[in-house]
Amino acid sequence: MFSICSEYDHKYYTGRRIWGMFHLLAPSQNFSAEYGNLKMDAPYPFSVKPDKKVSLADIMKIMRYMYQGTPYDMTAGIAAGPFGTPDRYSGGAGEQQVKGNWERSIGLFRTSDSYIVQARSWMPAAAGGITWFGSHAAHGTCYVPFGKLCADLSCSSFLLASGVQYN
C-alpha cells in the first residue's frame, strides 16, 4: 500500500497517504501533513497506537479515504472535479502547461481491487480468518467476506474473473 523509499511523481506521493492513515487512526498524535524529505527526515514513525480500538469499518474508511474534511480534501474546492469527484484522469493538454500535481489519496480510483484481512482469535482456526474482497476501487466497492470455509465449499461465482464476461 505504501512505499517510504521513493516519492515517485511528486514530494507527497506517498507521505500524504501515510499521514492520512495516521490522521484517521491516531488524531491525538497531531502529525504534520507537511515535511521536507520523507526518507531523510522520517516525519512519521513505523507505526502508531490507535486512539481507539480499530474496527473493520475503520479499515474500510481508511481504504476509501480521500482526505475529506482536511485542507487536502479531493472532493471539495479546486481539487474537486466535475460534481465533486476526486478522480483525476491524466492526458489533458493542460497538464503540460500547468506545473504541479494533484494529491494521491489512499482511496485511488485506479485501484483494480482491494482486500482487507481480518483475524478473529476468538473463533476456531477454521473460521477465524476472513478476507474481505472488493472487486473495484475501495471508494466504489462493496466488500464481500470470504472465510477459509468458503475455499472448501468452492464459492464458484468468484472462482473465475473476467473483464469481458459476466458469470
The 10s digit of each residue's pLDDT in 107-116 is 888 888 899 9
Residue 138 Cα distances to 50, 65, 88, 116, 131, angstroms: 22, 9, 15, 10, 14
Instruction: Determine how many CB atoms are found less than 10 A away from the CB of residue 15.
Output: 22
In this prediction, residue 161 has a pLDDT band, given cuts at 50, 70 and 90, of low
What would the pLDDT profile of 114-133 be if each residue is shown by its tens digit? Answer: 999 998 889 888 788 888 99
* pLDDT grade for 22, boundaries at 50, 70 and 90: very high
Nearest Cα neighbor of 45 from 8, 19, 12, 17 is 19
Can you give the pLDDT at residue 154?
A: 57
pLDDT number for residue 91 = 65
- 3-state secondary structure at position 125: helix
pLDDT at 82: 80
> Is the separation of the CB atoms in 22 and 69 below 8 Å?
no
Q: What is the pLDDT of residue 28?
A: 97
Contacts of 60 (CB under 8 A, 6+ apart): 116, 132, 138, 143
Question: What does the alpha-carbon distance between residue 87 and residue 108 come to, in Å, rounded to a whole number?
Answer: 7
